[in-house]
Structure 1
């Protein structure tokens, strides 16, 4: 293929990799909990032994400060490794299926079992966490995995491709590198589960390809995450955490705030607070700052530039772009209308539009009129205000007085709803989706002699009472009032 990088996996090799991985799964060695725990631990040491190399690779790919890599890539992955390692034995043990005297002699059980051979396609923006986190969830579930890292981060992809076969079972866990052609070939094959993290456009392609094989899919797709500002909130705190959430990792995080719904008569107050925070974060200017990264590619820089150039809002600061250096300045734009180009798509860059609103009711209506986002952020110390927003909107996460960090909080799964995705990419819920609940029971022959023989023909009228005894009592009948209103 003309212009195809030599590091890409040959297309005719992808089928062989798929088949080798399926055969490795069928060997049954991942049934062993000891094997799973050993492999989970090894994922941790892929990172721990090579942290400096990952920091350098991320700097080459994303112009990233070391702190962003440590915060986003290492910490979150170590949290999932610890969770899976400590709990895999408990989570995979058979457990009783409730308590019902009619069926107790049959010993009904449920057990989390592997789905099989999985395909994981992570994004470029958090290249370690978004690959290694799902990988440990898949390993804990007892699955074999093919990993396809993002071609937009070639240094990280090359490093991961080098290290995975050195640390992990070479047959159970394999790599495919490439772009559209290689991903298309992968999606033509039969998988037992696919996890894709990326854009909504590509997510639809993945879901459509998976549907041909009836393959279950996890999609984490981001979207335009709103921030709602209560004018009675701590404006300095709201400005600091919102602006940090917009510029950290240069705005290339699916959980970043995408726009701020701020009361019209409070907009200038908020603007002044953000300007102050900007100058504090980058006293020497963001372009020269060691705390500020770069956009992943020139193509993405040009896309963001098109959005900034096309806005009808007022650019308060920023707007500077250097395509050759993949640099987009932190940019604040006020007086942005709902029909503005900045509101037309996910910006996925360090540009923060402010959309003035009359009140919280208008803010809620705007959120409800748009596709459901991955997160909604609200800054307020008033529980009534917080509840008003969260109870009247839908999103993957509902976060008060903070942005972005929810994905790294132990016990909080990350996942979207509707167009922002479905399924989970962290935590126990991730393990659950990479396994299926297999039911079992063993019904002894003597059960038929003490009452369960009534189910066999020829049917007798007197046996109906035994059949009816299998059904539990219904809840109290609703009154006419509760039936009509749904309330007591």
Structure 2
């Protein structure tokens, strides 16, 4: 299916139409949001084969990986949002001091407005639809901008979204970098972007012109830190799976290994066995091994391999016509090696040798904060030491990648690896404004006279006690009763210091 770019001259009208729909409260009711979420679930359920086929054309990705890594997650997110939306959107009444016991202070959760979601090419379904689910749940109107790189998948999603979801609230626009820059000239109420740090900086710069808040889901070099006491056969299986899933084109893939020399030697012996177990003697013939997305990315990875000063101890086989790069292990890589300068985003696995764990942690701390850290050790003390002495978006102990499958864990980075997080309720929160609401009834006027000029010493004492009392409201009845008593005393009985003192002690 051919991907057709949206005419940039249409952008203004599309955005105006979505803003009008939002202003007219089209997406406000929970029943409408749930209906659209059910439609999105239906889209995924009824078109599994077509979506998987499109992803196979773009990435040669096996259906199992697409189901595990994209479709199933989005279906689960949709059902979770439908089931929990009533609870997520309920007003939250907050604890208050005695001075505000009758004010009905609460947080009202409202949609952010008209938002822009820019997807990524490596997981073009998940990384577009997962935040989209949050935006639908929150009640926003949405412009979706899929990546133009996986053109078959983006064309398929464009067709299906226009068929299954309300076009008055949700629109898909397509284009390359120039069209995206044109789109960013318009004001949105939130921008959600998944992709590289380089483009993330551009997104943030353009958003700043309109003071638009952004969520950036980026990447980085996520290290696997292997301690001496790690179970090497298990470590090898889990790391090779994480590195070859989607041909290493995963933002949370383990990027490099850092360990002592004895561990490197053990891994070098184990890795080839595991690769053969998973993908056979010739991974190029395996139906379970994806391909690099395009020639641009292939050339980037191939150049890395050509420039490395490390030892290629397994793999290193490339085929540009087929966009094939074999699972490749490179040992004895130094910190200034080409493979250690940028996120690899491919099936190349460098190993960097250090003298001990402390040197490994010092190296990790000296780099940008990674999206994930993967420590492997049998010792709880060692794991705790890694956690206490590093920073990362997430940490997965003795495994990799699987943090992304847990909806109740925030998914996001820090610094160069991202800004903000999402998944599950957090996806709803991203596109929701927490509006503070405080209600002061008219009958309160007699009781709040102490706050008005002319100011007196008596009024100062009353105000100081009411606003800075340690009482936090142990029950609704106690709160209402206490507020009534104290305000009555404040208004009528300011001379009765004994009685005021008793009430003060009772509610402190």
Q: Which moved more, 1:421-430 or 1:431-440?
A: 421-430
Aligned to 2:349: 352
Alignment partner for residue 461 of structure 2, among 462, 465, 479? 465
Secondary structure in 2 matching 1:9: coil
> How far apart in 1 are the matches of 2:137 and 2:460?
46
Aligned to 2:279: 282
Cα deviation, 1:197-253, whole Å, max 9, x if unaligned, reads 000000000000000000000000010000000121110111111111111100000
> How far apart in 2 are the matches of 1:380 and 1:6?
47
Cα deviation, 1:355-386, whole Å, max 9, x if unaligned, reads 11111101100110000000000111211000
Measured on the aligned residues, the alpha-carbon RMSD in Å equals 1.2
Matches within 5 A, 1:345-424: 345-424=342-421
Aligned to 1:320: 317
TM-score where L is the length of structure 2: 0.91
Matched, 1:247 2:244: yes
Alignment partner for residue 143 of structure 2, among 146, 149, 166? 146
Matches within 5 A, 1:333-352: 333-352=330-349
> How far apart in 2 are the matches of 1:400 and 1:6?
41
Aligned to 1:77: 74
Alignment partner for residue 453 of structure 1, among 449, 452, 458? 449
Aligned to 2:495: none
Matches within 5 A, 1:205-220: 205-220=202-217
> How far apart in 1 are the matches of 2:153 and 2:107?
40
Moved over 6 A (4+): none
> How far apart in 2 are the matches of 1:329 and 1:439?
55
> How far apart in 2 are the matches of 1:108 and 1:473?
18
Aligned to 2:493: none
Aligned to 2:193: 196
> How far apart in 2 are the matches of 1:101 and 1:197?
46
Aligned to 1:480: none
Contact 1:413 1:430 (C-alpha < 8 Å) held by counterparts? no
Contact 1:413 1:428 (C-alpha < 8 Å) held by counterparts? no
TM-score where L is the length of structure 1: 0.94
> How far apart in 1 are the matches of 2:243 and 2:469?
53
Matches within 5 A, 1:248-267: 248-267=245-264
> How far apart in 2 are the matches of 1:410 and 1:117?
25
1:22 Cα deviation from its structure 2 partner: 1.2
Q: Which runs of 5+ in 1 are unaligned?
A: 475-488
1:448 Cα deviation from its structure 2 partner: 2.7
Cα deviation, 1:455-477, whole Å, max 9, x if unaligned, reads 11111121111221111459xxx
Q: Which runs of 5+ in 2 are unaligned?
A: 472-508
Aligned to 1:11: 8
Aligned to 1:110: 107
Matched, 1:331 2:341: no
Alignment partner for residue 428 of structure 1, among 421, 425, 428? 425
> How far apart in 2 are the matches of 1:322 and 1:266?
31
Number of matched pairs? 469
Larger Rg over CA atoms: 2
Matched, 1:42 2:44: no
